[in-house]
Amino acid sequence: MPAVKNHLIEILPRKDRQRLLAICEPVELVLSRVLSVPGERPRHVYFPTSGFISLVALVEGSPGVEVGMVGNEGMLGVQMALGVPAAPWRALVQGQGAAWRIATPAFRRELALNPALQRGLQRYLYVLMAQHAASAGCLRFHMTGQRLARWLLMSQDRSHSDSFHVTHQFLAYMLGMRRAGVTTAASGLQREGLIEYRRGDVTVLNRKGLEAVACSCYAADRQTYAQLLG
């Protein structure tokens, strides 16, 4: 059983939570594994309990850019709350961990019978919409260092650890920028004593300092989630 709880499941009334957990199975989230691709019906939905999943918008002629992140605050497959089987993004595991997994036919049946689950997922859909909108504005208007600080804070929140693994190349892919730009930004944060970065291993040394550097998108994301889902 996953050690850390998923918030969307935990806020359900006890009876609804138990019924949902009865159709769940625990699985490991394996680093870099692709869980869904645009236009294809996924076989499962996932409620992460540790680790995190990147939602990547694919753009012709490029590897794509991250537009959202899912950890134990959310789920992968929330579009089913709208009756839509496939999502518009590529989902891949960015931080290894664990999750509850449910086969999509079983999840659709439970969703139809569980108004509390429907309400929670509708609110979470709005949170994701806000996250996607913030990511678009962030990519256009905010400096590399600000965006990197935001991404590191989001990753720390979902990894439940001050340390996690990520390469410069992967960061460049996720943030939609050149590797050289990520290297420069990460070196700057390290010089300021905010992070330590060695061979792909990141350690957050000064979270408050990192929050001060991050763009306003990070605080706005957290505020939206807190207002809608507690």
| Domain range 7-138, CATH class | mainly beta
HEC secondary structure over 78-143: HHHHHCCCCCCCEEEEEEEEEEEEEEHHHHHHHHHHCHHHHHHHHHHHHHHHHHHHHHHHHHHHCC
**Phi-psi bin for 76: left (phi > 0), alpha (psi -120 to 50), beta?**
beta
Residues of the chain within CATH 2.60.120.10 domain(s) are: 7-138
* Tens digits of residue pLDDT in 203-215: 999 999 999 999 8
Residues of the chain within CATH 1.10.10.10 domain(s) are: 143-214
pTM of the model: 0.90
Q: Report d(CA 227, CA 230) in Å as an integer.
A: 6
* Tens digits of residue pLDDT in 88-113: 999 999 889 999 999 999 999 999 99
**For 143-214, CATH number?**
1.10.10.10
* Tens digits of residue pLDDT in 17-58: 999 999 999 999 998 899 999 989 999 999 999 999 999 988
Is residue 117 within 8 Å of residue 80, measured between CB atoms? no
